[in-house]
């Protein structure tokens, strides 16, 4: 299949929210959505970086995004941001759950969850759940995962509060990306069962050169290792712009089926986007239903998919 950003349809009048939009995949995704006419909210936890990103996005796209302060590692921040959006708008056509952290040293979220599962999954679960009143109107939710979901065989409730003594950073990252897919597919199942006009799909970038690879070593106070990660990524990875293609395809292709998962075409490593298969574990409906309930218990957010009348 051939595809490029030129195939993105006119998005004039559509409203999108992209998490983690100050750099990397989120920035490139927001840029193309703006270029194709969408009204874009860029959500980020660092106000200074968000303002800088908004300025460069405006310069490149010729249209200004709206900045939304959001820290996915703080459920109070998620609630505040969602309340701000629901108070300001009557609909949200597109939600791209893109932000994430990868392989940092052991950290906890504000609410005491292991940082990667707490940010990458629970934060997005709570955000999506709180925004559902705006999303059940013909909207699309894109949840960004990773081929690293293939490296783990499952997830248990205790993983959400995994202590430092049993923490393995790459295992935790893989579990967070597995959780993203379990959530995406369970949201799809529940939307279809409720007859809701909501499309839940997923995407992964393959191997793209972004700041994500260096962020973990930076948090660990290892600048040399961060530099090596960044240099290696530049040598073998595709660009962040190309890495955003699966997300953009998932967000805008008019014929994409519910529950689809989109990744790069060349061994899911790089190239034009195509529909790919999650692992059998990611497609485990029983495990997905368990994770949904664990996430409800953890966040206090219980997404109810009811059809608007």
Judge whether residue 213 has pLDDT over 60: no
- 264-277 burial, b at 16+ Cβ within 10 Å, e below that, comes to bbeebbbbbbebbe
- Residues 189-212 have pLDDT tens digits of 999 999 999 999 999 998 865 545
- Residues 74-122 have pLDDT tens digits of 999 999 999 999 999 999 999 999 999 999 999 999 999 999 999 999 9
- Residues 31-74 have pLDDT tens digits of 999 999 999 999 999 999 999 999 999 999 999 999 999 999 99
Domain boundaries, the chain: 10-299
Fold assignment, 10-299: Rossmann fold (3.40.50)
The residues annotated as belonging to the active site are: 145, 173, 177
- Residues 281-306 have pLDDT tens digits of 999 999 999 999 999 999 999 998 76
Cα separation values, 238 from 16, 169, 211, 244, 270, Å: 25, 24, 13, 10, 6
Mean pLDDT of the chain: 91
Is the model's pTM score more than 0.85? yes
pLDDT value, residue 232: 45
pLDDT value, residue 220: 52
20 versus 236: the higher-pLDDT residue is: 20
Instruction: Give dist(CA 200, CA 180) in Å, integer.
Output: 12
Instruction: Map residue 163 onto helix, strand or coil.
Output: coil
Judge whether residue 8 has pLDDT over 90: yes
Quick one: what percent of the chain has pLDDT higher than 70?
Answer: 87
Instruction: Map residue 172 onto helix, strand or coil.
Output: helix
């Amino acid at each position: 299949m051939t595809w490029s950003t030129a195939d993105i349809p006119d998005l004039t009048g559509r409203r999108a929210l992209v998490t983690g939009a100050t750099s990397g995949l989120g920035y490139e995704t927001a840029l193309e959505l703006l270029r194709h006419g969408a009204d874009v909210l860029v959500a980020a936890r660092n106000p200074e970086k968000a303002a800088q990103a908004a300025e460069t996005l405006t310069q490149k796209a010729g249209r200004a995004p709206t900045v939304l302060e959001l820290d996915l590692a703080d459920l109070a921040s998620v609630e505040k941001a969602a309340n701000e959006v629901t108070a300001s708008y009557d609909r949200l056509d597109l939600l791209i759950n893109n932000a994430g952290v990868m392989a940092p040293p052991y950290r906890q979220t504000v609410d005491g969850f292991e940082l990667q599962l707490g940010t990458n999954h629970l934060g997005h679960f709570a955000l999506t759940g709180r925004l559902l009143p705006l999303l059940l109107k013909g909207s699309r939710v894109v949840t960004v995962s990773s081929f690293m979901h293939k490296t783990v065989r499952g997830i248990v409730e205790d993983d959400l509060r995994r202590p430092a003594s049993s923490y393995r950073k790459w295992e935790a990252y893989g579990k967070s990306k597995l959780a993203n897919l379990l959530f995406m597919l369970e949201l799809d199942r529940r939307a279809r069962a409720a007859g809701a006009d909501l499309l839940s799909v997923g995407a992964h970038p393959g191997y793209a050169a972004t700041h994500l690879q260096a962020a973990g070593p930076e948090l660990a106070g290892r600048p040399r290792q961060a530099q090596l990660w960044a240099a290696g990524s530049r040598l073998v990875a595709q660009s962040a712009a190309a890495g955003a293609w699966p997300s953009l395809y998932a967000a805008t292709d008019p014929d994409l089926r519910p529950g689809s998962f989109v990744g790069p075409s060349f061994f899911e490593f790089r190239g034009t986007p195509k529909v790919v298969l999650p692992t059998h574990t990611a497609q485990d409906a029983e495990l997905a239903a368990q994770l949904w309930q664990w996430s409800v218990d953890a966040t206090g957010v219980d997404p109810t998919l009811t059809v608007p009348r």
